[in-house]
Amino acid sequence: MNNACTMVCPEKAYDAALDALREATSFTLEVAGNRTRWTTVKVLFSRSTMTFTTMVRIKPGDRFSKLVLGMHNFFNMIDTKNEDEKKIVLKAIENTEMFIGIIADPEFIDEEGHFAYLFTVARKLNALIFTGEAMQDANGRSLLGSDGSVG
């Protein structure tokens, strides 16, 4: 991961997501919005930040719907021998209720605890993580890469 990824969440649960973000760190959080309908959360690490931004379906054909379609097409076009993993990824995309976009500034930094934090939050939300090149589970294992690989 460079400096951005997207959580693919099976539930539209602003409160559970905010709780997960708060419980997984002792760093300061700046929340835009309220517990049941926040738009962004900025986590202030010692030398960096991570900004989490929500996106949900508002109406058919909206940005959320187009992102679901684009992501589904991206993975559906991948030629792979790992059809079981591909089905899991496609089903997760079809059933997503919320995307949470994450931007790390200046980038994801393991020493700052970014990856541990990201995966902890993803586990609490039963979310997958789209890196732009692969769909990962909440432990960082690649379920399906753009080259058809897994693991």
Q: Per-residue pLDDT for 111 more than 70?
A: yes
Give the side-chain half-sphere CA count within 13 A for 74: 19
H or E stretch covering 97: none
Residue 4: what residue type? A
Strand partners, 7: 100, 129
The residue among 58, 80, 78, 60 whose CA lies nearest residue 69 is 60
Q: What angle do CA 11, 62, 128 make, to 5 degrees?
A: 35
pLDDT band, very low/low/confident/very high, at 1 (cuts 50, 70, 90): low
Q: What's the pLDDT tens digit per position in 10-64? A: 999 999 999 999 999 999 999 999 999 999 999 999 999 999 999 999 999 999 9
Question: For residue 75, what pLDDT band results from cuts at 50, 70 and 90?
Answer: very high
Q: Counting beta carbons within 10 angstroms of the beta carbon of residue 76, is it exposed (0 to 12), middle (13 to 18) or buried (19 or more)?
A: exposed
In tens, the pLDDT along 112-130 reads: 999 999 999 999 999 999 9
Taking the model in full, what pTM does it have?
0.94
Residue ranges of domains in the chain: 4-145
